[in-house]
Amino acid sequence: MAAAALRSAGYSGKSLAEKLGFKAGMNAAFIALPAELGSLAECVPFAKVVRADSWNAKLPAKTFDAIHAFTTSRPELAANLIKLQRALNAVGERKSVGDRAGRTHDLAAELSEPVLNQH
């Protein structure tokens, strides 16, 4: 995806950064960011950016305002969800994810429910 496409994505006219809630000064982590979206990590002046090529990366606790992680594997997300949640700072947001059919759902919430109910 070209940088121009990141500026205006979809019918709303909002940039992809706006749709994802990225703001200047945020601490952001990008996990398994596809090459075609590489400029996403530079779309706003982040205070801190961590780019990890794989889900095996160690993320410091309570550090990030946003974590944008890419996977096509539900088990991979489920296995790493707690690590991602711990890396978010107190004000970090969790956004819904869309699947390839265009349906939007909050997979993180669905996967978190059994974990949260155990405590």
Q: What six digits make up the tokens of 53?
A: 């090529």
Count of structural domains, the chain = 1
- The helix (H) or strand (E) run that includes residue 112 is helix 107-117
**Residue-number span of the structural domain to which 32 is assigned:** 3-117
The number of beta carbons lying within 10 Å of the beta carbon of residue 42 is 12
Confidence (pLDDT) at 19 = 86
Q: Give this prediction's pTM.
A: 0.70
Residue 15 pLDDT level (bands cut at 50, 70, 90):
confident
Who's near 49: CB < 8 A, 6+ residues apart?
A: 27, 28, 29, 30, 41, 42
Alpha-carbon distance of 19 to 24, in angstroms, equals 14
pLDDT tens digits for range 62-116: 999 999 999 888 889 889 988 998 999 865 455 544 444 444 445 566 665 554 4
**Residues ≥6 apart with Cβ < 8 Å to 73:** none
Residue (of 69, 35, 36) closest to 50 by Cα position: 69
- The pLDDT assigned to 20 comes to 86
Q: Are 30 and 41 in contact (CB under 8 A)?
A: yes
Nearest alpha-carbon partner for 20 in 70, 90, 67, 79: 67
Query: In the structure encoding, which two tokens stand for residue 88, read together?
Result: 């978010």
Give residue-wise pLDDT tens across range 26-49: 999 999 999 999 999 999 999 999
